[in-house]
Amino acid sequence: MSRLIQTLFLLVYTSMIGLRYGEIIFAPPVDALDGIGKEQAQQEVTIEPDAELQTEIDRLIKALKEEPVDEALAVQQLDVLKAIGGERYELLVPQLVFYSMRGRDVYESMAFDIVVGHLEISKYYIADALRPYLGITKPQLKRQLHEALEVVEATSSGRPPDYSYYGAIIETTVREGKELPRNLIHYMYESDPGAAVIRVMRSSMLRKPSEVKPILWAEHQVADVLWKWKHGFLERGVVEPEAVEALWDLSDHPRWWARLYVAEIMRQHPAFRTDDLIAVLLTDPDESVRSVVTSFVTNNAQDD
């Protein structure tokens, strides 16, 4: 049995028993994914299907569905995708996400895994190719995008995500003198703000103790409270004064992404909120920080 067929069998088998997706949900037509208006949809970040790449991906999957597998055609199609998918697969990777989202069976839903595995596309390339699309809001496409990024993060139950490849992207932007990738940092914070702020701090190559220490101390204090909640050493919802003080100190940090950590912790864990701290961050000079605080303040007002 060839490597191609062996890998295909393993991917399909594991998806069937729930090791990759948990439960395969075949996608409805893309037009039925949500009810937003045409004008709003045009303004949103999304992955538009590329006719050529979608056709070539489909030819590959059809070759793999053949009984027996048309291995010669499959290998040929992999070569085609490699040739037209971009120097760093920046064109191919988003199209694989889109194709898998539209999957009507196990083979089509596993297209991303199959192609990424056989072309040995690096995690860095995957992260960098999908980074422009982190603002996607369409539920089905967003879920497929996040499942693809699980490959990058190597997530498993009970373990924090591995942000090392995102950190490498941030380091590159720092070396090139570019603005930090805000959409990537937002995505990281939404998933695990503690792991995210430490990774961003390291990747930003901060050197001044006056900038590094407040970040480390705030993350430590917050993590300590969360750990005590989880293991019953502190009543859930009770926040120790040291943690609140550490967040106050960090709210005045010169780096916007450090202050964003404060806002994100308050969004995810309301017990850390204080009226005074909310008021300070609502007037933060950075729009990203203000928007996070505004989101949970608005939601609270609506609930009331």
- What is the three-state SS of 146-168? HHHHHHHHCCCCCCCCCCHHHHH
What does the alpha-carbon distance between residue 209 and residue 196 come to, in Å, rounded to a whole number? Answer: 19
For residues 42 and 137, the answer to whether their CB atoms sit within 8 Å is no
Gyration radius of the chain over CA positions = 22
**What integer is the mean pLDDT of 16-28?**
38
Which tens digits make up the pLDDT trace of 251-290?
Answer: 999 999 999 999 999 999 999 999 999 999 999 999 999 9
Q: Is the pLDDT of residue 169 over 70?
A: yes
The mean per-residue pLDDT over the stretch 155-184 comes to 91
- What mean pLDDT do residues 151-161 have? 81
Per-residue pLDDT tens over the stretch 35-61: 333 333 345 789 999 999 999 999 999
Tokens of 183: 């959409």
pTM exceeds 0.85, yes or no: no
The answer to whether residue 20 scores a pLDDT higher than 50 is no
Residue with token string 């220490």: 213
- Enumerate the H helices of the chain as residue ranges: 3-16, 38-43, 51-65, 71-84, 92-101, 106-109, 111-119, 123-130, 139-153, 164-175, 182-191, 193-203, 209-231, 241-250, 256-268, 275-282, 287-303
Instruction: Find where tokens 């009984």 sit.
Output: 67
- pLDDT given for residue 154 in this prediction: 85
Task: Tell me if 92 sits within 8 A of 83, measured CB to CB.
Answer: no
Predicted confidence (pLDDT) per residue in 89-141, tens digit: 999 999 999 999 999 999 999 999 999 999 999 999 999 999 999 999 999 99
Look at residue 107 in the predicted model and tell me its pLDDT.
Answer: 93
| Token pair in block for residue 191 | 């998933």
Q: Are 144 and 100 in contact (CB under 8 A)?
A: yes
Contacts of residue 105, Cβ cutoff 8 Å, sequence gap at least 6: 26
At residue 160, the pLDDT reads: 83
Judge contact between 78 and 99, C-beta under 8 A: no
Q: What does the mean pLDDT of the chain come to? A: 88
Residue 5: half-sphere exposure toward Cβ, Cα within 13 Å: 11
pLDDT value, residue 43:
53
Q: Is the pLDDT of residue 14 over 70?
A: no
